[in-house]
Amino acid sequence: MYEKHLMICGATGCLSSGSHLVEQALVEELEKQGIKDKFRLVMGGCPGFCEVGPIIVVYPDEVFYCRLKPKDMAELVEKHLVGGEIVERLLYKGPDVDVPARFYDTIPFYAKQKFNVLRNSGVIDPESIDEYIMRGGYRAFTRALAMDPPAVCEEVKQAGLRGRGGAGFSTGLKWEFTNKAPGSKKYVVCNADEGDPGAFMDRSILEGDPHAILEGMLICGRAIGADEGYIYCRAEYPLAIKRLRVAIEKAQEYGLLGENILGYGYNFEMNIKEGAGAFVCGEETALLASIEGKRGMPRPRPPFPAQSGLFGKPTTINNVETLANVPLIMKEGGAAEFVKVGTEGSKGTKVFALAGKVRNTGLCEVPMGITIREIIYDVGGGIKGGRDFKAVQAGGPSGGCIPVDLIDLPIDYDSLNQAGAIMGSGGLVVMDEGTCMVDLARYFLSFTQKESCGKCTPCREGTKRMLEILNRISEGFGEPGDLEVLDSLAGSIKDSSLCGLGQTCPNPVLSTIRYFRNEYEEHINERFCRAGVCKELFKYRIDEEKCTGCTACVRACPADAIKGEKKEPHEIIQELCTRCGSCIEKCRQDCIMITPVGSEADVSN
Amino acid sequence: MSTEVEAAEKVTGEIDLSRVDSLVEPYIGRKEMVIPALQKVQDYFGYLPRPAVEQVSKRMNIPLSRLYGIATFYAQFKMKPRGRYIIRVCKGTACHIQGSPKIAERIEDILEIESGETTDDLRFTLEEVACIGACALAPVIMINDDPHGRLTPDKIKDILDRYQ
């Protein structure tokens, strides 16, 4: 028997902060003391709070240690694991708490969260099927096995579950279509090709709770009459793939996959297919082509995959987070519980990846209908460095930005659509006044332009033309009328592209023009980038009155473009300046200003 | 292993085709498995050498043009040898607004290569990736399997020096 369980976050966020080194140090310390056998160490799923990683949670004591360093391990072992005393120094501290917070329930980041799909992540050992079962796992599946398949579809439909991968189509309805499609061979496909830059919730679910995905797929398979499933996962997620393989092996061993499952005469075989790096494969018909071993290009619909999908057979494709919701809904009384959370049209919770210029970055799961203000200020703890919130980009390259005026917008599928963004996969990138909206639009479009598969003309050629215009604007060659051309191109691309990639890729451009038109106009008419991002459109200048001559910027400048003696105001030699921004990062007096090119008058402002 | 193979190939201009045979063996007769087959070949050689792809074409009975179509469609497949250390600069949204372009620029300056290129000594290959899912620590780069987060341009040189 173990005295305590220690859950060490082993997800990418914490790994980048060095959680593997912390684990190593912990193991060494325990071995040194000869007490390693008393403690169970699990390099497990993600508690979501990447900002304060590496994280270790100690059970059954319920203690949340964060921002750990390898050198902290000796104290943690000595004081807590041996002595039974909490190491207060390593608890969560921040401007939002008066006393160090001990566990999830007192850390403000978690206060407004509701764990549905992340219920097991960071709590169980993802490689142990027993721990999953102990938390109620596979009960929903056994219940579904005993039900009539159309009744399963109906129950999911009634719960109001909508696809979490983007468009928000009713999951139950999708299942019903496939259930009704004629044919004896059908497939379930899990879309784990999470490609939106800025979103990593699917990865976290796969790594932290792989059995929930298998169970969701099994329930779906039962409901639609499929006997085979494919999980299409990005090759960039090796840990997720490994954990899925372990989960499949265990489920086979326990008779939850294979032939005549639990004596119900139901068969199910599970396959994993690794993607090969193409964003468009997140689109369902392209994904199917890729599983079939072809170039991952979409095809026109209809026929929809529910009629003719993988290898021409009726197929249901669901995203990871959608499937993780299914066991919750299908357990006894689950649907009634599920609909209690959320808004009229959007039930349940949504996982968001909160990143950008917000204090608490990480993954959060919140009820649908929460406002942007609550996410940024309550969950996210506000903007870094006390700067002003400017906008948040929702839904990645297919979505749009939401400006500060709409900060009290409740987030659900319909309200986001109205605002010109989309729920998408749930990336939320927070921006402050240092973000240039023209550059942001250009960034997203250059991504979608590169990832356009080239099959249909509007997307292939249209995105190129739009990108050319945006490049011109950010290099200082914008012309009057550019915005109108962008607008008209965007309309044509949206209307006439073959798949979701083309139909949504103009959104970031349209929404930034809609909410930040003045910024575009400033770029075009005054050749000025106020945010100091578009390099041709601003100059750095030192405010002589504020400069104390500390030489920090002189030392930071890689181009030797700053001159000035100690304790004398410095000056930037414009001919040498590459506008790399190293100086502004180092300046503590806040005396480096962003000014328009060629306007000497602004120096005195 | 892959670097030794590449080095040997550079000298002799030959690659071990019997190795290709055994890699694609499990997939023969299953054309839908062509992507996993190419992934195996690339895992071994570090990239897709033309003679190896020709051999896959023969063994799996798939036209070379089709294999080329697939290999060039997916970003994962590389047609040229790569360095011992693959630097992946994350170009995700969070990294972008936190300054990943400046990080990439600094790496390019130090290594004197552009994104997509390999240093002459086959030490580094510089690539861009859409998102590696460590947005909370932006800007982030990966060097082989090691993530490095919360970067500023002045940290780059020290990090690169650790990979010899």
Task: Report the residue of chain B nearest A396, measured CA to CA.
Answer: B93
| Chain B contact probe: residue of A46, A245, A429, A443 with most B CBs at under 10 A | A429
Here the CATH number for the domain that contains residue A45 is 3.40.30.10
Asked whether residue A186 falls in the same domain as residue A101, the answer is: no
- When pLDDT is cut at 50, 70 and 90, the band that residue B13 belongs to is low
Asked whether residue A220 falls in the same domain as residue A318, the answer is: yes
Q: In whole angstroms, give the CA distance from residue B39 to residue B34.
A: 9
Q: In whole angstroms, give the CA distance from residue A170 to residue A156.
A: 9
Residue A76 DSSP class: I
The 10s digit of each residue's pLDDT in A478-505 is 999 999 999 999 999 999 999 999 999 9
Quote the tokens at residue B29.
């007769």
Asked whether residue A314 falls in the same domain as residue A423, the answer is: no
Picking from A50, A194, A447, the nearest residue to B137 by CB comes out as A50
pLDDT at A348 over 80: yes
In a domain, A544, yes or no: yes
Q: In whole angstroms, give the CA distance from residue A211 to residue A132.
A: 7
pLDDT at B12: 47
Helix axes A201-208, A210-224, angle to 10 degrees: 100
Q: In whole angstroms, give the CA distance from residue A247 to residue A233.
A: 15
Here the CATH number for the domain that contains residue A473 is 1.20.1440.230
Quote the tokens at residue A171.
């999951």
pLDDT at B4: 53
Asked whether residue A266 falls in the same domain as residue A315, the answer is: yes
Q: Quote the number of domains for chain A.
A: 5
Q: In whole angstroms, give the CA distance from residue A291 to residue A310.
A: 8
Asked whether residue A472 falls in the same domain as residue A558, the answer is: no
Among residues A338, A361, A384, the one where a domain terminates is: A338
Q: In whole angstroms, give the CA distance from residue A53 to residue A66.
A: 6
Report the 10 Å Cβ neighbour count for A243. Answer: 22
Asked whether residue A95 falls in the same domain as residue A150, the answer is: no
| Chain A contact probe: residue of B86, B131, B143 with most A CBs at under 10 A | B131
Quote the tokens at residue A581.
């921004």
Distance of residue B94 Cα from the nearest chain A Cα, in angstroms: 5
pTM of the predicted protein model: 0.91
In a domain, A381, yes or no: yes
In a domain, A229, yes or no: yes
A283-287 — which CB contacts under 8 Å span 24+ positions? A283/A499, A283/A500, A283/A501, A284/A189, A284/A191, A284/A317, A285/A499, A286/A453, A286/A499, A287/A189, A287/A191, A287/A193, A287/A232, A287/A317
Asked if A137 contacts A126 with a C-beta cutoff of 8 angstroms, the reply is no
Contact of B140 with chain A, judged by CB distance below 8 Å, is answered with: yes
Among residues A107, A142, A165, the one where a domain terminates is: A107
Mean pLDDT confidence for B134-150: 85
The 10s digit of each residue's pLDDT in A194-225 is 888 778 899 899 999 999 999 999 999 999 99
In a domain, A33, yes or no: yes
What domains sit in chain B, N to C, each tagged with a CATH number?
2-73 (no CATH), 85-161 (3.40.30.10)
Q: In whole angstroms, give the CA distance from residue A424 to residue A490.
A: 19
Task: Report the residue of chain B nearest A19, measured CA to CA.
Answer: B147
| Chain B contact probe: residue of A55, A236, A287, A440 with most B CBs at under 10 A | A236
pLDDT at A557: 87
In a domain, A471, yes or no: yes
Among residues A525, A550, A565, the one where a domain terminates is: A525
pLDDT at A65 over 60: yes
Asked whether residue A502 falls in the same domain as residue A546, the answer is: no
Asked whether residue A38 falls in the same domain as residue A78, the answer is: yes
Distance of residue B9 Cα from the nearest chain A Cα, in angstroms: 25
In a domain, A185, yes or no: yes
Asked whether residue A156 falls in the same domain as residue A283, the answer is: yes
In which domain, by residue range, is A86 found? 4-107
Asked whether residue A367 falls in the same domain as residue A307, the answer is: no
Report the 10 Å Cβ neighbour count for A505. Answer: 26
Q: Which of A533, A526, A534, A545 is nearest to A592 (CA)?
A: A545
- Residues A295, B134: C-beta atoms closer than 8 Å: no
Distance of residue A290 Cα from the nearest chain B Cα, in angstroms: 8
In a domain, A533, yes or no: no
Average pLDDT, chain A: 93
The 10s digit of each residue's pLDDT in A125-150 is 999 999 999 999 999 999 999 999 99
Distance of residue A565 Cα from the nearest chain B Cα, in angstroms: 23
Asked whether residue A133 falls in the same domain as residue A92, the answer is: no
Here the CATH number for the domain that contains residue A389 is 3.10.20.600
Mean pLDDT confidence for A560-584: 90
- Residues B97, A278: C-beta atoms closer than 8 Å: no
Report the 10 Å Cβ neighbour count for A82. Answer: 14
Asked whether residue A442 falls in the same domain as residue A423, the answer is: no
Here the CATH number for the domain that contains residue A173 is 3.40.50.11540
In a domain, A532, yes or no: no
